[in-house]
Amino acid sequence: MSDDSDWPPLPPMQTGLRGRCPRCGQGHLFKGFLTLQPKCEVCGLDYSFADPADGPAFFVICFACIPSVALGVWLEVQFSAPYWVHLFTTLPFMLATCIPPLRPLKGWLVASQYFYKAEEGRLATPRN
């Protein structure tokens, strides 16, 4: 295994959005739709540092769900649309705008954690 200093820093947007390893840019980050690999198959980077928590879902809610709900409310107010109209318009629109961005956003957040060396906060202890 190699040290992080052996690898040039790669921008999180370049690696994360493509689902690639944040260190080498070649290995795969995901083994499923949103499940992270245990480590990179190319450089051996252990992905246990990665914890994007609810970050991807938060961004999707902010940027995709709000327009979807706005579409549904507009259809209801403007046309008094029956439920079947919402089933065939609002629901597919919501699924199409909410599910596809989850993986690239999670990859970007994991790559950003690696790039900026983000880790859990610790209390500072005074030096004597």
List pLDDT tens digits, range 5-17: 789 999 999 999 9
Q: Encode pLDDT of 102-118 as tens digits.
A: 999 999 999 999 999 98
In a domain, 42, yes or no: yes
Q: Where are the alpha helices (DSSP H) in the chain?
A: 12-16, 55-60, 66-79, 83-88, 90-98, 102-115
Total domain count for the chain? 1
- Note the pLDDT of residue 41: 96
Range of the domain at 48: 4-115
**pTM of the complete model:** 0.84
In a domain, 128, yes or no: no
In a domain, 126, yes or no: no
- Distance CA(109)–CA(107), nearest Å, equals 5
In a domain, 120, yes or no: no
